[in-house]
Amino acid sequence: MRIVLVGPPGAGKGTQAEVLTKNLSIPHISTGDLFRANISQGTDLGKQAKAYMDAGDLVPDEVTIGMAEDRMDAPDAAEGFLLDGFPRNEHQAQALDAYLAGHGLALDGVLDLEVPEDEVVKRIAGRRVCRNNSAHVFHVEYKKPQAEGVCDVCGGELYQRSDDAEDKVRNRLDVYHRETEPIIDYYKRQNLVVTISALGSVEEVTARAMAALKDRRTDGAA
Ligand code: AMP
């Protein structure tokens, strides 16, 4: 199954992606995680991406699209994948369509996580992520770790992403509305979009997402 996950920063894309990809046995492809891994490894790609990420701006398409395609080319993605944070503008969506068409493939669905803007700001300001795995996400109020600053899942150190600071969040939301939201209409024209509310517990949102995706399967799998 090939799925795109969209939604504003703080909608819980990373958290849901982690659970959904386990349930569906497909890899979780997050361009944000790929960039962060490149930054921590000090690669050229990481150096090119860092300033844009720190400002909450989009990394240029020339860098992003190639990186996403390389990841989709990996053997573990042959039977499907969930894209989290890619595409993020219409040009990237067109590039993804061209990539899939070139491989005789198509998307099964675009899952749109909807969440009110004031909730987004609250969620992001208190968000803490694990240095080992950014899908291990906690919140200083809503999802406190058992020991402060320590990941419940793997014991890694929890930190606040530099782009989660409040001024950066405002810019990321602007970028989302300006650049990314239009791809929802782009995919609506292809009848691919299922919109669900991202409010409620992680389990509630996952249940909604699984129900929505069940109707979208085109590969005959259960
Ligand atoms: P995320 O972890 O998805 O919130 O992404 C963090 C940051 O990585 C974004 O604010 C962008 O700077 C960069 N980024 C991630 N995915 C993309 C993309 N598809 N296109 C451009 N920049 C991206």
Q: Indicate whether this model's pTM tops 0.85.
A: yes
Q: Where are the domains of the chain?
A: 2-27+74-218
30: β partners: 84
Is residue 36's pLDDT more than 90? yes
Cβ contact 124:27 at 8 Å: no
Question: Which of 35, 62, 72 to mutate to test ligand 1, by most ligand atoms within 8 A of the CB atom?
Answer: 35
Please count the other Cβ atoms lying within 10 Å of the Cβ belonging to residue 35. Answer: 23
CATH 3.40.50.150 is right for the domain spanning 2-27+74-218:
no
Q: Which pLDDT score is estimated for 222?
A: 42
Q: How confident is the model at residue 219 (pLDDT cuts 50, 70, 90)?
A: low
Give the span between the Cα atoms of 184 and 189, in whole angstroms: 9
What pLDDT digit, counting tens, does each position of 12-33 carry? 999 899 999 999 999 999 999 9
Distances in Å between the Cα of 7 and the Cα atoms of 102, 154, 166 are 27, 27, 18
Phi and psi (nearest 5°) for 114?
-105, 130
Which atom of ligand 1 is least distant from the CA of 56?
10
5: β partners: 84, 111
Residue located nearest, by CA, to atom 9 of ligand 1? 53
Give the span between the Cα atoms of 211 and 129, in whole angstroms: 28
Q: Which pLDDT score is estimated for 218?
A: 61
Residue located nearest, by CA, to atom 1 of ligand 1? 32
Question: Which of 28, 30, 31, 161 to mutate to test ligand 1, by most ligand atoms within 8 A of the CB atom?
Answer: 31
* CB proximity list for 5: less than 8 A, separation 6 or greater: 13, 16, 17, 20, 82, 83, 84, 85, 110, 111, 113
